Amino acid sequence: MSIEMDIPVQAADSGRDIDYDELPNYIGYLLRRAQANVFREFERSLGDIGLTPGAFGLLMLIRANPGITQMELANAFGIDKSTLTPVLNRLEQSALVRREQLAHDRRYNALFFEDAQEAFFDRARTRVRDFEQSVADRLSDDEQRELVRLIGKIQADA
C-alpha cells in the first residue's frame, strides 16, 4: 500500500530518494499531513478575515446555539474550558460575541453572536464555503460521503 506524497515547499529537493518506511501507512501521520495542508490552505485563502479555522467554527456554533454556555461549547467543540477562554476573549474584543452572566445562576456565561455582525459573518461563511468547496471538489460526491463516514468510524468511542 503506497501513496503519493505531496511535494515539499521549502527548497528544490536535491533528488535524494527518501525511504518513508511504514510512515505512510500510519493513520496518525496521514491525518497530521492532511490537516496541516488543509489548514495552511485555509489560512492562505482566508487569513484576511482575521479568523482561524477554530475561531470560525466556534463562532458558527455560538451563532447556531444562542445562549450556549462555555462548558457546553467547549464540550461540543472537543476542547478544554481553559482553552476556550482566550479564544472567546478575542471574539468578544472583536465584538463578534458577547458573554452574558445568567441571572438565575451566575456561575454560567451565556454566549451570543452579535447580530450587528451578521453581514460580516455572511461574507466570511461564503468564503469558507468556497474554500471547502474547492477542497471537496477534489472528490466525487460519493467519495466525500465515504471520507466523512470513514473518518467518523476511526474516532474512538470514548
Partner DNA sequence: TATTGTTATACTCTATAACTATA
Partner DNA sequence: TATAGTTATAGAGTATAACAATA
User: Pick from 104, 138, 149, 153: which binds DNA (CB under 7 A)?
Assistant: 104
Stretch that binds a copy of itself, among 31-39, 87-95, 99-107, 113-121 (CB under 8 A): 31-39
Query: Is residue 106 part of the contact set for a copy of itself (CB under 8 A)?
Result: no
From a copy of itself, DNA, none, which one binds at residue 85 (CB under 5 to 8 Å depending on kind)? Answer: DNA
111 grid coordinates: 454566549
Query: Is residue 18 part of the contact set for a copy of itself (CB under 8 A)?
Result: yes
**CA end-to-end distance (rounded Å), the chain:** 29
Stretch that binds a copy of itself, among 34-42, 88-96, 98-106, 115-123 (CB under 8 A): 34-42
Query: Is residue 36 part of the contact set for DNA (CB under 7 A)?
Result: yes
Of 52 and 144, the one with the shorter C-beta distance to DNA is 52
CA dihedral of 59, 44, 2, 144, whole degrees rounded to 10 = 40
Stretch that binds a copy of itself, among 85-93, 94-102, 110-118, 122-130 (CB under 8 A): 122-130
Distances (CA, A) of 113 to 81, 117, 147: 19, 8, 31
For residue 128, which amino acid is it?
V
114 grid coordinates: 452579535
Query: Is residue 62 part of the contact set for DNA (CB under 7 A)?
Result: no
Distances (CA, A) of 100 to 26, 64, 92, 106: 45, 16, 11, 9
Of 104 and 137, the one with the shorter C-beta distance to DNA is 104
